[in-house]
A and B are shown apart, each in its own frame.
Chain A
Amino acid sequence: DAKTTQPNSMESNEEEPVHLPCNHSTISGTDYIHWYRQLPSQGPEYVIHGLTSNVNNRMASLAIAEDRKSSTLILHRATLRDAAVYYCIPRGGSEKLVFGKGTKLTVNP
């Protein structure tokens, strides 16, 4: 399984953009990069995933480095509801979904 490194915590103000980084230097060429988040007292929920090019959906954008050794999850306008732990997870042929410690995002009003 590819190892990931994420900051333990980050802080943002409401309605400002947030960039959550993830290093995954041992990622395999066929692994997709998945992001999940876990709101307080809830199960994790899917946010976004991508392989090589940048991806957008209604929740966030995912920017993937050209060498695929890092990626950044972008929340364009943080809201209080975005306060959660964010997990970056490479996933591919090994099929396992293995969580690291993630980044705890605090959003200030």
Chain B
Amino acid sequence: NAGVTQTPKFQVLKTGQSMTLQCAQDMNHEYMSWYRQDPGMGLRLIHYSVGAGITDQGEVPNGYNVSRSTTEDFPLRLLSAAPSQTSVYFCASSYFPRKTGMNTEAFFGQGTRLTVV
């Protein structure tokens, strides 16, 4: 069972370049989300999705796009990278907490360390 897989693990971009961070899960989880973590800080929610075709913004969505065409995949796109987007990015997935008693333990990927120069 692979869990949550993020690729790449490391990436260096030049300002203005675009790229897509990949996130895939094999647990049939409805809920998926992206976070960024800056040095010495907590995780901040960028975007999240409660199922295929449904996405919503978190705390810091500017500069990032997402789509959810399948249950398994939730890619994060940077259209024009900026140095302020240098960070570690984490993807997470869980069952959607639609009823009490449901185990909604979230599983996290190992992160993508992105540097924008």
Q: How far is the CA of A36 from the CA of B107 in the complex (A)?
A: 10
In the assembled complex, B86 has its CB within 8 A of some CB on chain A: no
B45 at the binding interface (Cβ < 8 Å): yes
Q: How far is the CA of A51 from the CA of B97 in the complex (A)?
A: 13
B100:A97 contact, CB within 8 angstroms: no
Number of A-B contacts (CB under 8 A): 61
Residues of A with C-beta under 8 A to B44: 99
Q: Which residues of A contact B92 (CB under 8 A)?
A: 43-44, 97
Are A95 and B97 within 8 A (Cβ)?
yes
- Chain A residues lying within 8 Å of B107, measured Cβ to Cβ, are 46
Q: Is the CB of B45 within 8 A of A96?
A: yes
* Chain B residues in 8 Å Cβ range of A30: 100
In the complex, the answer to whether A32 meets B42 with C-beta atoms within 8 Å is no
Instruction: Name B residues whose Cβ lies closer than 8 Å to a Cβ of A.
Output: 31, 33, 35, 41-45, 48, 50, 58-59, 90, 92, 94, 96-98, 100, 104-111
